[in-house]
Amino acid sequence: MDNKRIIIAIDGHSSCGKSTFAKAIAARLGYIFIDTGAMYRAVTLYALEHGAIAMGIVDEERIEAMLGDIEISFRFNSERGASDIYVNGDLVEGKIRTIEVSNCVSAVSSIGAVRRKLVAMQQQMGRNGGVVMDGRDIGTVVFPTAELKIYMTADPMVRAERRYKELTAKGDSVTLEEVYENVVSRDKADMSRAISPLRKADDAIVLDNSAMSVEEQMAWFDEQYRRVIGA
Ligand code: DC
């Protein structure tokens, strides 16, 4: 395919397979994949472990004050074919996708200072192009001039079932109802927050993958990509 290294912005609802899709695209094009949700999750984990969230109550001022102590980095893991996330040098990849973190991450990601710090980092990481970045505000705020913007969605119960399978496969004891509640409440929180709410950029193309296999999604992507690069 073409040598021009563009920015591909993928936004959309929780648990609709954005990361799987983004990772597959990055592998196909030889691009870097950046999971921005992992960055919001890493800050949430740090806040949980350092007493800035207790009994589900998020202490915004404390989180803002601790931001300077949180250094986030990524290192490529060739076994996974994606980058693992580190906080202050500690590998946290396996600890950021628990239901506890999921339940608090919307509140943490609605804090202005948290978003400013992470958006600046994301802009820095993508400045040379050749990236596939997935999140909620990539096409609207982080890279409003991205060449290709995709807005992903899927039926909430389909998404809950997918996330439930992932969590139970890892040994987490959750119920499907609990996961469904989390998916629906995160949609609501992500779309109604004051700063950078989740919304489709005007020039984004919609991919509803409720009934699509990964292969079908990749075939759809190839068409969109060819259109954008003019191949
Ligand atoms: O993609 P994810 O479910 O791992 O993201 C976790 C949370 O982080 C999600 O509830 C919303 C927030 N998020 C965000 O506000 N902005 C982004 N660019 C990425 C994620």
Q: Could you report the per-residue pLDDT of 62-114, keeping only the tens digit for each?
A: 999 999 999 999 999 988 888 999 999 999 999 999 889 988 999 999 999 99
Reported as a single tens digit per residue, the pLDDT across 30-51 is 999 999 999 999 999 999 999 9
Q: How far away, in angstroms, is 3 Cα from ligand 1 center?
A: 30
Please give the pLDDT value at position 45. 98
- Ligand 1 pocket check: which of 109, 110, 125 to mutate, most ligand atoms within 8 Å of Cβ? 109
- Helix ranges (H only) for the chain are 18-29, 36-49, 60-66, 99-109, 112-126, 156-169, 176-192, 214-229
| Residue 94: burial class (beta carbons within 10 Å; 0-12, 13-18, 19+) | exposed
Pocket flag, ligand 1, residue 135 (CB < 6 Å): yes
Q: Is the pTM of this model over 0.85?
A: yes
Phi (first) and psi of residue 193, to 5 degrees? -70, 155
The token pair that represents 220 in the structure block: 């759809």
Query: Quick check: 29 pLDDT over 90?
Result: yes
Residue range(s) defining the domain that contains residue 96: 7-229
Is the Cβ–Cβ distance between 11 and 152 less than 8 Å?
yes
Distance 190 CA to ligand 1 centre (A): 8
**Does the pLDDT value for residue 1 go beyond 70?**
no
Average pLDDT of every residue of the chain: 94
Give a yes or no: residue 87 inside a domain: yes
Gap between the Cα atoms of 49 and 194, Å rounded: 26
For ligand 1, the distance from its centroid to the CA atom of residue 85, given in whole angstroms, is 15
Whether residue 190 has its Cβ less than 6 Å from ligand 1: yes
Residue 230 pLDDT class (50, 70, 90 cuts): confident
**Residue 169 domain flag:** yes
Mapped onto helix, strand or coil, the DSSP state of residue 149 is strand
Q: Is the pLDDT of residue 131 over 70?
A: yes
In a domain, 2, yes or no: no
Instruction: Tell me if 1 is assigned to some domain.
Output: no
What's 41's domain CATH number?
3.40.50.300
The reply to whether 75 falls in a domain is: yes
Nearest protein Cα to ligand 1, atom 1: 37
pLDDT exceeds 80 at position 3 = no
CA-nearest residue, atom 11 of ligand 1: 106
pLDDT confidence tier of residue 198, bands split at 50, 70 and 90: very high
Q: What is the pLDDT of residue 81?
A: 80
In the chain, the percentage of residues whose pLDDT exceeds 70 is: 99
Q: Cα of 199 to ligand 1 centre, how many Å? A: 13
Contact status, residue 45 vs residue 92, Cβ threshold 8 Å: yes
Within 10 angstroms of residue 211's Cβ, the number of other Cβ atoms is 9
pLDDT tens sequence across 143-184: 999 999 999 999 999 999 999 998 999 898 999 999 999 999
Tokens of 67: 């931001």
- Is residue 222 predicted with pLDDT exceeding 90? yes
The answer to whether the CB of 187 is under 6 A from ligand 1 is no
pLDDT of residue 94: 93
Q: What is the number of other CB atoms lying within 10 angstroms of the CB of residue 131?
A: 24
The interaxial angle of helices 99-109 and 176-192, nearest 10 deg, is 10
What pLDDT was estimated at residue 80?
Answer: 82
* Counted domains in the chain: 1
Q: How far apart are CA 231 and CA 225, in angstroms?
A: 8
User: Distance between CA 17 and CA 221 in Å, rounded?
Assistant: 14
Is residue 172 domain-resident?
yes
105 Cβ closer than 6 Å to some ligand 1 atom:
yes
**Position 201: which residue type?**
A
Evaluate if residue 2 carries a pLDDT over 70.
no
